A and B are shown apart, each in its own frame.
Chain A
Amino acid sequence: MKKLLGVTGCPTGIAHTFMAAEALKKAAEAAGAEMKVETNGAIGVENALTAEDIAGADCIIVACDKKVDMERFNGKPVLEVSVSHGIQHAAELVAEAISGKVPVRGGKAPDGVDAMFQIDAKPGAAHEIYKHLMNGVSHMIPFVVAGGVLVAVSFLWGIYSFDPNSEQYNPTAALLKQIGGFSMGLMVPVLTAYIASSIADRPGLVSGFVAGTIAAATGSGFIGGILGGFMAGYLCRFLVKSLSGLPREFEGLKSIFLVPLVSVAVIGGIMCLLAGPVASVNTAMMDFLSNLQNSNPVILGIVIGCMCAFDMGGPVNKAAYVTGTLLLGQGNYFFMAGVSAACITPPILIALATTIFKGKFTKDERAAGMVNYILGCTHITEGAIPFAAKSPLTVLPILMLGSSISAVLTYLMKIQVPAPHGGFLILALVDQPLAWVLCILIGSAVGAVIYGITRQKPAEE
C-alpha cells in the first residue's frame, strides 16, 4: 500500500486547514492509500509528522497557505498546492501522488561543510531531547540576559550597593538589583516550563512552571528543572493521549481541569520528593566546576575554548554557553568570563588576520573581516562561520586554539564577568576589564598569525 503524508494550514487556521485534511484523507482512503495529515491550525500543530513518517512516505502533499517547515521534506517527492486546491481537488492530488511521477524536492539533505553546522538535523531520540532542551533554553536566555545585565549594572555603584546597611547603598542600584533578581528568578521555571511545552504543547506549561518553581525553591536548581521539564512534558503528553477517548463534551473539562490538576499533583509530588537528592547533585556539580576553575584552569580553559569555537553558535558552543549562564544564575561569575572570552575570540581572530595579512584575503573577505570586529566586540561568534566554512579542517583548529588561549588566560587571571552576553559593551561590569580584553587579544592575535601564515594567497583578486 502506498504511504502518503499531508500537511495542511491556512492563515487563520480555523476551517480550511481541517477541511483540506479531511478531504485528502477521504480521497486517499478511496484510492486505497494510507495517509497521515498534519494540521497547522489555530489550535497548534496536530498529528505532527515525525522524521520516521517522512522517511517512509511515498509522497507528501502540502496544501498550505501559510509557511510551514519544508526543509524536512528535502529529497522526497513533494506536491505543493494552496489549501483550497487541496480541498477541491483532493482526489486528483492523491492520484498524482500515487502515480510516482512527482518531482523530488530540493537537493538531498544538507551535506559537506553545511552538515558540520547542522548537527541538529539528525533525527532520533537524542535530537528530540536536544530540541526540547533548546526550546527551554532559548526561552530562558532573554530572562537571564535582561536580569543579569540589570544586576551587573547595579554593581556599578559598588558590589554592596543594594544593602541598606552598607556605605555603598544606593536606592537606584538596589531597585535595579531587585528587578534583575526577579527576572533571574524566573530562569529555572521558564526553562522547565518550555521544555515541557516543547514536548506536550500548551498542556505541558502548567506542570512545567510548577515543577520549575519547585526546583528553584528547593535548591535542586537547573538540573532539577531539566528533569522536571521532561517529566512534566511526557506525563502531560501521556495524559492528553490517554484521555483522548473521552466524549467531546469533556474536552473543556480535560484541558482546563483534569490534565492540569493531575499533572501538577503528580509532578509536584515527585519534584518535592526529588528535591533533596537532586539538590545535592546540583551542589556537587557546581562545586566540581568551581574547583576545576581553581585547581585546573588550563584544562577547563582548553575544554571551553574548544567547545565554543568548534561549531560557533551550534549545539556544542551552546552547551558551554548555557552552563556559563546557569552558573551565573547561581552566583559564579568566573566561569562565564572564560566562555565569553572563547566566544568573542573567533571573530576577532578573523578580523585581525584580514587586517594583518591584507594580501592573503580577497576584497570581499576583508570587508567581512571588518564586520567581524563589530561582531566580536558584541559576542557574536557566528561571524567567523563563513571563513571557517571555506576550509574547516584548517580554520577550525586555529579558532579552537585561539579560543582556548583566551579562555585559559581568563581563568588564570580569575576574571569575573557578571553578564551573560554583550561582549565588550558590558566591559564596565567586568572586574578586570583591561586584563580581560588583553586575554582575548592575545588568543586572537596568536590565532590570527597562524591563520595568516597558513593561508594561501587568493588566486585572483
Chain B
Amino acid sequence: MAKLFQEDTISTDLQAKDREQVIDEMIALLDRAGVLRDAAAYKEAIYAREELSSTGIGFGIAIPHAKCPAVREARVAVGISRQGIDYGGESTEKVRLVFMIAVQDTDDDLHLRTLASLSRRLIDPVFRNRLSGCREPEEVLQLLQEIQ
C-alpha cells in the first residue's frame, strides 16, 4: 500500500504561529525526509494554491497542497499544533491540524483516492478529536492507517 503517511513526516508539536511559518515548517519536514526534488519550487506551488483560496477549511484544519513535478514521491506530512495557528481564510478558528499534501503530476488514482477518503474522514468530529489528541507520531500513523 502506498506509504503516503510516514513517521519522519509527522510532527506532533508544531512551533509555527501563523500560516507562513507553518508552511515553512512543514516544507522543511518534507524536505528533510527527501520527499522533495526542489523545495523552493514546491513552496511556490503551495502558495499558488493558497492564492486561489485559503486551504484553511475550518474545523481547525488546513490542507495546503500542491501537485507538481518538484515532488519526488507522493507524501502527506501531518502536523499537530498545541497552541493553534492563525491560518487566515474564511474561518477565524485557530488551526490545530495541518496536512501538507505533496503529489506528483503523474501520480496515479490510488494516492488521490486515499486523499479523497482522508478528506471524507476529516468531516467526522470524533476522528478529528482523536487525531489532534495524539502525542506521538506513531499514534498518528496508526490512526491514519485506518483510512487506507
Contacts and interface: CB of A to CB of B under 8 A. Distances in A.
Given A88-B90, A248-B148, A14 B109 contact: no
Interface of B: 1, 49, 52-55, 57-59, 63, 65-67, 89-91, 99, 101, 103, 108-110, 112-113, 115-123, 148
Contact of B63 (A16, A23, A65, A256): A16
Contact of B101 (A14, A22, A39, A255): A14
Contacts of A251: 109-110, 113
Contacts of B90: 84-85, 88
Given A19-B122, A252-B110, A12 B116 contact: no
Contact of B53 (A39, A84, A248): A84
A41 B65 CA distance: 14
Contacts of B109: 43, 251, 255
A11 B52 contact: yes
A15 B115 contact: yes
A87 interface: yes
B65 A15 contact: yes
A17 interface: yes
Contacts of A22: 119-121, 123
A82 interface: yes
A356 interface: no
A42 interface: yes
A88 B120 contact: no
B120 A11 contact: no
A155 to B, nearest CB: 41
9 contacts: A15-B63, A15-B65, A17-B119, A19-B120, A26-B123, A43-B113, A65-B52, A88-B59, A88-B90
A437 B108 CA distance: 52
**Interface size of A as a range:** 20 to 34
A15 B101 contact: yes
A21 interface: yes
Contacts of A23: 123
Interface in A68-106: 82-85, 87-88
B89 to A, nearest CB: 7
Contact of B67 (A21, A42, A82, A255): A42
A209 interface: no
B148 to A, nearest CB: 6
B65 A12 contact: yes
Given A22-B120, A84-B54, 5 more contacts: A12-B65, A15-B116, A16-B57, A65-B52, A252-B110
A451 interface: no
